Structures are given as structure tokens and as C-alpha cells.
């Protein structure tokens, strides 16, 4: 792994030679945050996204993490979710359950997925209500700055268009300031209906990690991290700017290939 000095305020950039190396580093990172959060607060509230992130978390299911992590203190949420049945192939919950949750001793009642019997708007409203209840009991921390939930970790992927969670470029959802969870019905990639954390919630987290792999993400990574001018400002991934928390990018060589300064790692 190599650390790349990034544009100020764009966080820590970790570049990995292989997906195996990235998976190992990601597991170490999550385990360390979990240990620190449980020690400090008694809980670890983590919000996941879908896609390749779940498979890249696979090392958590094996040694030493399956024995050393205090799984009973984990509370799991989704930063975004497709509004489909929980057993649907497109469900982020199903992906996480099949590849991660079913292999770990996490308390079932600590896993907070959306109500798949509701409309997108209703599901978003109910999900926000659930989070508000857990903020009241401090299972989920609260930000002193924004009055939003302060998740211990929000783990995001990024699309080739620079979207994160279900925050799509040029969509009005990017302007949402009051809701914690909102919804869209016009995702350009099916299924069209989704719920998503809003930017204020993501930027209130104690830690935000963005994972991007493959050459198809290289241009979006460049626009999200490098100082490249005003064209990058509207990219959702560029809008990830934790208020007081820490931002970390987990990249492979292909995704990092267009970053300034990358050539020193590619030889």
C-alpha cells in the first residue's frame, strides 16, 4: 500500500497494488475503528453501501477478525438501498447478508434494513425515524456541529459518474439539507427507486471511507480528489467533505491511475 499526498481537504488516499491488498487494509481499518468506537462509546454504528464493497470486506469473516472484533456491539445500517424485496437480487441487504452478515455473529436486531413493503418515500421516512430513535439512545452518536447522526463509519462505493450512495450527479437530492434520509424514483441505473442518506448525514460521520477500483473509475477519482477546477465541484463524490470527521480513499492502481503524483507508484 502507498499513501498519496492529496489535495487539501480531500482526505487520505491509500493506493493498493491488488484487490487482495485492498481487502486486507480495509479489514484492518474497519476492525481498528470498531475497537476504538466500542471502547469509547460501547457501540459501533456502521453504514454500508452495495456493490463490490461487500465482497472487499470478506476478510472480516476470517481470522483474526472473526475472533477479535466485538460483533455484539455492531449496529449495521445502509447508506443507500434499492427499494426492492429483501430477497431480490438487486437488494443491498441481500448482498450483505449472503456474503457478510450470515458469516458473522452479529445480533439480528442490530441489523437495520429498510421496510421493503413500503413505497420509496415511505421507506425513507420510516428509516429516518428508526435512526432518530437510535440517536436518542446514543446507539448512533450525534454531531455537535450539524445535529445530524454521527455514524462511526460510513462506507461508500463510487460509480464511474462520481455518484456515491444514491446521490446522483445533477439530481435535486444533492440539495437536500433538512432530511437525514431521502428517496429517488429516477435512478439512471435500475432499479429506479432508492433511499439514500443525504450529504449532511454523510458529512457528519466520524469516518467516511470511499472505495473505488478499476480503470472505469479513474476519471471520477481524479475529479473527486485532485484540484482540477470548477468542473469537479458538481461531482457527488467531490461533495463528500466531512465536517470534523476523517475521509479515507481506498483505491487500486487502476482507479488511482489518473491522479497527480500517481506515476511514482506505478513503476
Q: What is the pLDDT of residues 59-81, one digit of tens each?
A: 999 999 988 999 999 999 999 99
As a whole number, the mean pLDDT across the chain is 93
Any idea what DSSP says for residue 6? P
pLDDT in tens, 121-168: 999 999 999 999 999 999 999 999 988 999 999 999 999 999 999 999
Q: How far apart are CA 159 and CA 109, in angstroms?
A: 31
pLDDT of 93 higher than 60: yes
- Identify the CATH class of 42-246: alpha beta
Extract the C-alpha cell encoding 38.
466500542
Q: d(Cα 33, Cα 246) in Å, to the nearest integer?
A: 11
When comparing pLDDT for 106 and 227, which is higher? Answer: 106
Percent of the chain surpassing pLDDT 90:
84
Whole-angstrom distance, CA of residue 129 vs CA of residue 173: 19
Contacts of 261 (CB under 8 A, 6+ apart): 4, 5
The DSSP secondary structure of 128-160, one letter per residue, reads HHHHHHHHHTTSSEE-TTTSSEE-SEEEEE--T
Give the confidence band of 266 by pLDDT, cuts at 50, 70, 90: low
Closest to 49 measured CA to CA, from 74, 17, 82? 82
Return the SS3 of 224.
helix
Measured CA to CA, the distance from residue 20 to residue 98 in angstroms comes to 20
Which pTM was predicted?
Answer: 0.95
- Of 102-111, 118-127, 257-266, least confident by mean pLDDT is 257-266
Q: Within 10 A of 42 (CB to CB), how many other CB atoms are there?
A: 11
**What is the distance between the alpha carbons of residues 27 and 104, in angstroms, rounded to a whole number?**
14
Mean pLDDT, residues 169-173 taken together: 93
Read off the C-alpha cell for 214. 478499476
Asked, as a colleague might, if the bond just before 64 is cis with ω within 30 of 0, I would say yes
- pLDDT tens per residue across span 123-135: 999 999 999 999 9
Distance, in Å, from the CA atom of 214 to the CA atom of 253, rounded to the nearest integer, reads 8
**Alpha-carbon gap, residue 50 to 88, rounded angstroms:** 13
DSSP 7: S
Query: 165, 127 in Cβ contact below 8 A?
Result: no
Q: What is the pLDDT of residues 189-214, one digit of tens each?
A: 889 999 999 999 999 999 999 999 99
**DSSP 3-state of 242:** coil
* Distance separating alpha carbons of residues 212 and 161, to the nearest angstrom: 12
pLDDT value at position 6? 63
Cα distance between residue 174 and residue 201, in whole Å: 12
Amino acid at each position: 500500500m502507498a499513501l498519496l499526498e492529496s489535495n487539501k481537504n480531500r482526505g487520505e488516499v491509500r493506493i493498493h497494488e491488488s484487490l487482495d491488498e485492498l481487502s486486507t487494509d480495509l479489514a484492518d481499518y474497519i476492525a481498528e475503528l470498531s475497537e476504538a468506537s466500542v471502547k469509547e462509546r460501547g457501540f459501533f454504528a456502521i453504514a454500508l453501501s452495495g456493490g463490490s464493497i461487500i465482497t472487499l470486506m470478506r476478510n472480516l469473516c476470517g481470522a483474526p477478525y472473526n475472533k477479535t472484533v466485538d460483533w455484539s456491539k455492531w449496529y449495521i445500517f445502509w447508506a443507500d438501498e434499492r427499494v426492492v424485496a429483501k430477497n431480490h437480487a438487486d437488494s443491498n441487504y441481500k448482498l450483505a447478508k449472503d456474503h457478510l452478515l450470515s458469516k458473522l455473529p452479529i445480533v439480528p436486531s442490530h441489523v437495520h434494513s429498510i421496510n421493503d413493503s413500503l413505497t420509496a418515500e415511505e421507506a425513507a421516512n420510516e428509516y429516518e425515524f428508526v435512526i432518530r430513535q437510535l440517536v436518542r439512545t446514543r446507539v448512533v452518536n450525534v454531531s455537535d456541529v450539524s445535529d445530524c447522526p454521527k455514524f462511526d463509519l460510513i462506507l461508500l462505493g463510487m460509480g464511474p459518474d462520481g455518484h456515491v450512495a444514491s446521490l446522483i450527479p445533477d439530481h435535486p437530492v444533492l440539495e437536500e439539507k433538512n432530511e437525514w434520509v431521502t428517496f429517488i424514483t429516477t435512478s439512471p441505473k435500475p432499479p429506479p427507486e432508492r433511499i439514500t442518506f443525504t450529504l449532511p448525514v454523510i458529512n457528519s460521520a466520524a469516518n467516511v471511507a470511499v472505495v473505488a477500483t478499476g480503470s472505469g473509475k479513474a476519471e471520477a477519482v481524479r475529479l473527486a480528489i485532485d484540484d482540477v477546477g470548477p468542473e469537479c465541484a458538481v461531482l457527488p463524490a467531490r461533495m463528500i467533505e466531512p465536517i470534523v470527521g476523517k475521509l479515507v480513499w481506498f483505491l487500486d492502481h487502476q482507479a488511482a491511475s489518473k491522479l497527480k503524483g500517481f506515476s511514482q507508484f506505478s513503476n
